[in-house]
Amino acid sequence: MLGDLAQAGTKALGGDRFSLLSVLPGAIVITAVTVLVGAHAYEPGRGMNLGDALPNDHKLVVLGLGSVGVFLGGVLLRPFEIALVQLLEGYWPAGSLRGRALPIAVERHRRLREQAIALDETRAVSPPNNASLTQLAQFHRAMAQERRIKERAERTAAKYSPYDEQLMPTALGNILKNVEERTGRRYGLDVLSAYRRIYPSVAPEFRQAIEEQMDLISIASSLCVAFGIVSLAASPLVFRMNWWTLLLPAAMAASAIAYRGAQRAAQDHEELMKAVFDVHRFNLASALHYDLPADAAGELDLNKRITTFLNASEPLAEDNGLKDEPLKHPPTA
């Protein structure tokens, strides 16, 4: 009975993808703000006391109710995870303050990309002629430094799309956009529209790995925003100039670490998506009842025509790319 109830509750909260980590970001924000208020952080002239934020009478009851409240608060905030990821990706409304800053942020990343490309293309240090041991040592140190600069520049350039119209205003957004662009570009497919249609036929191992990776990106992004909110909530502590003041830089550091973790998870996501399309890309043409192409050129051409149709809204019979493509239906029993 209890097992069935727990299973039903888990499905209601998000199915197999639900975990305590899913509600952790919201729980962190609620707990931090509650403790700061209870400890008198927002009362000027009054000393902070952590003991005032902890329950005194009926401790177990209050602590239990508080834990349930924090958990429920985290659950209620969980549906906003997608919005938080989109916020960190750089999908900002045009009329908002962030929207006004979007062109500036995009231009900054365009310059970072161009700078990385320029550093990656710098000429190698030439070895000296008839050099002494000291000069050879200096040459090898210069070569090692140049190699490190080139490797760093190559990693930076790999995070960006080569097309200016694909650039995003944030580092995480550029990595994910480049994953979408590079994964499907090799086969002439748009990842977003194609993956939704091949998803039912993707191998369970691939599907589970991708969902886990997406959960990791989502949780890391949510933690980044959660610690950012805690930083704002703790900002009045700057004026106290005591041990409590350290909460602000600690929360800011945790937010930065979480953001870096989201970027790293997004980079690892590219290899998974490439593997899925390497193995399952033909499932799209088969599901749409088209003959499988005989060579790579035919595959690229068919995929481009399918992508154009999927991203448009006109009827199939009026689509210039596919209206004359013969359909192949599976034999009926």
Confidence of residue 8 (pLDDT cuts 50, 70, 90): very low
Alpha-carbon span 279 to 141, nearest angstrom: 44
Q: Which of 187, 201, 198, 210 is nearest to 273 (CA)?
A: 210
How much is the mean pLDDT over the chain?
A: 77
DSSP class of residue 321? T
What CA–CA distance (Å, rounded) separates 94 from 101? 9
Q: Which long-range contacts (CB under 8 A, 24 or more apart) does 137-140 make?
A: none
Give the integer Cα–Cα distance in Å for 156 and 150. Answer: 10
pLDDT at 139 over 60: yes
The pLDDT value given to residue 256 = 92
11-68 pLDDT, tens digit per residue, is: 434 444 445 556 667 667 777 777 777 766 666 767 666 666 666 554 544 555 455 5
pLDDT at 124 over 90: no
Least confident of 121-130, 147-156, 177-186, 230-239: 121-130
Q: What is the DSSP string of 153-220?
A: HHHHHTTS-SSGGG--SSHHHHHHHHHHHHHHHTTT--HHHHHHHHGGGS-HHHHHHHHHHHHHHHHH
- What pLDDT, on the 0 to 100 scale, is given for residue 78? 60
**Domain spans of the chain?**
13-87+193-282, 97-169
- 159, pLDDT greater than 90: no
Measured between alpha carbons, how far is 322 from 309 in angstroms, rounded to an integer? 8
| Distance separating alpha carbons of residues 172 and 84, to the nearest angstrom | 12
Of residues 300 and 15, more confidence is placed in: 300
* 3-class state of residue 40 by DSSP: coil
**In whole angstroms, how far apart are CA 127 and each of 91, 106, 120, 142, 328?**
48, 40, 19, 10, 63
Cα radius of gyration rounded to whole Å, the chain: 27
Report helix angle 191-198 to 296-310, nearest 10: 100
pLDDT exceeds 60 at position 189: yes
Q: What is the pLDDT of residue 217?
A: 87
Alpha-carbon span 102 to 255, nearest angstrom: 21
